[in-house]
Amino acid sequence: MTRDVSDAGVFVECEAGAAIPLYRLVHLQVERSIRNTDQLPARLREGRVLSAVWRVAPCRRSTGTPAGYALRFLIEPGMPAAVVHLDDSEAVAV
């Protein structure tokens, strides 16, 4: 289950499974049945999104695994970076 979905990331609740270390790169993909929902950021509607584990929730006593993970979306390699123009003589890639 996902919650706190934004253009920058998402929190994914987990019931069970192996623990994922902090800063590990993962791919996130939502179910096809909800991919066309207007409330989802455009990145999540396109398919898999490369993300980094940004925060790990405390472990559940019953399973010993984290209750969830906060994921930060990353720019895929090869995608153009955004360019911020400071003035006519300077530009910074972000």
String of DSSP letters for 22-91: TT-EEEE---GGGTT-TTS-HHHHSS-EEEEEEEEPPBPTTTSSBSEEEEEE-PPTTSPPPEEEEETTEE
Residue among 44, 46, 51 at smallest CA distance from 24: 51
Which of 41-45, 46-50, 64-68, 86-90 shows the lowest mean pLDDT across its residues?
86-90
pTM of the model: 0.71
pLDDT tens, position by position, 13-47: 987 777 888 989 999 988 888 888 888 888 888 88
